[in-house]
């Protein structure tokens, strides 16, 4: 019996050590992710939360300013967008498919407005995933600087409906705001969802997502199997850093918009997740590595959404991501900055046009599409209106989008 006793004792001690490590390495934001998201979004914080004590006069002013700005944004853009999604878009696609949002960065809010029925969302950009060092015991000035940084980083979403790459590079590399995570949380909370968990992840060269148990701990994939070592593989392909947020329909407090089509929060509410990856998808950036391709093909087919994408998929240097997007998509809703019209083979795609074609803005004058303009003029495809603005021509009503739906194979 003595060997058995000591064996059990060792197991108990090992479990205790692991528990202590988990406690010491966890952060308040990870322990209360929904409360942290509400705090950042200027939404009511639960009375029993550690963040309740942080709702000082500064935060109250932040909340009031946030509410004012968001209410205007919701009235002018999101309400028409939700109505259009419900009346038009949802009936023309399979709304339950995963959403692939190339070049979306942290813009989860438009993804949720247009695709509220998806269970999985994949976004990527050049900005780091970041962290959320929102410690209730931290000095008030540190928290206030984080709130200021969040509000400043959202300025272009309010006015233009998209992030400007150059500004994001500066906004999301600050000491107080070191990546996209806080913005993802704000958008999820403000869209009426409860944040369930925040996970540091990596996309490994084999094309699977591995979840990091802590910042420096060994990885496990979603089946719990040990992951491989950090760094480069023998093929020279790196692990791709990212962050994943799991969430579900909220118990609504009257200040957040209830997601269309979602039931009140219950044990049966479907869990959703967004995965953001820090990734250069140029041909040079992807090289011979197929992790992104393998992962997307594993979750596809997808609905794909592209807007304000700097016309990158028009260039030969982004041929790989263009081909991948065409291969995995069941539908593509995009403005003219996405895949060139000439690449949408009409034998494969059924197309609906929205708005009216207009010249690209001055920064992108070399990507005018005469064939797309002719398609509008000749009414080659059905043309409908779009009751909202969210692209490079944000200050006008001259928007052009198209919905391409893959034709069924004979």
**Closest by CA position to 370, among listed 381, 359, 354, 362:** 359
**6 within some domain:** no
**86 within some domain:** yes
Instruction: State the DSSP code for 232.
Output: B
**5 within some domain:** no
Inform me whether the pLDDT recorded for 163 exceeds 80.
no
DSSP-assigned states of every residue in 15-26: HHHHHHHHHHH-
**206 within some domain:** yes
pLDDT in tens, 111-127: 999 999 999 999 999 99
Q: For residue 309, what pLDDT is reported?
A: 87
**398 within some domain:** no
**373 within some domain:** no
Which tops the pLDDT comparison, 223 or 387?
387
**204 within some domain:** yes
Locus of tokens 């209730």: 136
**β-strand 302-306 against 99-101: which pairing, if any?**
parallel
pLDDT in tens, 3-14: 443 344 444 444
DSSP-assigned states of every residue in 287-340: TT--HHHHHHHHH-SEEEEE-S-TTGGGSGGGHHHHHHHHHHEEEEEEETTSS-
What residue numbers bound the domain in which 178 lies? Answer: 28-325
Inform me whether the pLDDT recorded for 1 exceeds 90.
no
pLDDT in tens, 268-324: 578 999 999 999 999 999 999 999 999 999 998 999 999 988 899 999 999 999 999
Number of domains in the chain: 1
Q: For residue 23, what pLDDT is reported?
A: 35
**405 within some domain:** no
**pTM score, whole prediction:** 0.84
**Closest by CA position to 242, among listed 325, 143, 124:** 124
């Amino acid at each position: 019996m003595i060997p058995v006793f000591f064996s059990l004792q060792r197991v108990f001690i090992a479990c205790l050590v692991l528990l202590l490590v988990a406690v010491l390495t966890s952060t308040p934001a990870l322990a209360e992710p929904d409360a942290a998201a509400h705090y950042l979004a200027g939404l009511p914080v639960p009375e029993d939360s550690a963040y309740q004590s942080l709702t000082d006069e500064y935060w109250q002013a932040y909340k009031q300013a946030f509410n004012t700005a968001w209410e205007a944004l919701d009235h002018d853009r999101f309400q028409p967008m939700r109505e259009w999604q419900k009346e038009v878009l949802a009936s023309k696609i399979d709304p339950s498919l995963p959403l692939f949002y190339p070049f979306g960065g942290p813009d989860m809010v438009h993804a949720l407005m247009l695709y509220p029925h998806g269970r999985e969302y994949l976004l990527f950009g050049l900005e780091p995933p970041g962290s959320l060092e929102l410690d209730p015991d931290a000095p008030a000035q540190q928290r206030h600087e984080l709130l200021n940084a969040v509000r400043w980083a959202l300025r272009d979403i309010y006015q233009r409906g998209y992030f400007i790459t150059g500004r994001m590079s500066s906004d999301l590399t600050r000491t107080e705001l070191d990546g996209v995570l806080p913005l993802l949380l704000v958008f999820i909370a403000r869209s009426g969802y409860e944040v369930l968990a925040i996970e540091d992840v990596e996309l490994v060269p084999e094309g699977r997502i591995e979840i990091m148990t802590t910042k420096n701990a060994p990885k496990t994939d979603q089946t719990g199997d040990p992951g491989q070592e950090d760094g480069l593989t023998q093929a020279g392909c790196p692990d791709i850093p990212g962050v994943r947020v799991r969430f579900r329909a909220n118990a609504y407090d009257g200040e957040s918009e209830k997601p269309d089509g979602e039931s009140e929060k219950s044990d049966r509410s479907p869990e959703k997740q967004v995965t953001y990856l820090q990734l250069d998808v140029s041909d040079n950036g992807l090289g011979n590595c197929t992790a992104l391709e393998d992962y997307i093909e594993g979750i596809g087919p997808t609905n794909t959404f592209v807007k304000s994408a700097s016309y990158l998929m028009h260039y030969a240097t982004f041929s790989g991501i263009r081909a991948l997007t065409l291969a995995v998509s069941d539908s593509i809703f995009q403005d003219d900055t996405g895949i060139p019209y000439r690449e949408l083979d009409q034998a494969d795609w059924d197309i609906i046009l929205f708005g009216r074609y207009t010249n690209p803005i001055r920064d992108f004058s070399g990507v005018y599409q005469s064939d797309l303009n002719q398609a509008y003029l000749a009414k080659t495809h059905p043309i409908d209106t779009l009751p909202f603005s969210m692209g490079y021509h944000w200050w006008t009503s001259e928007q052009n989008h198209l919905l391409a739906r893959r034709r069924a194979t004979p």
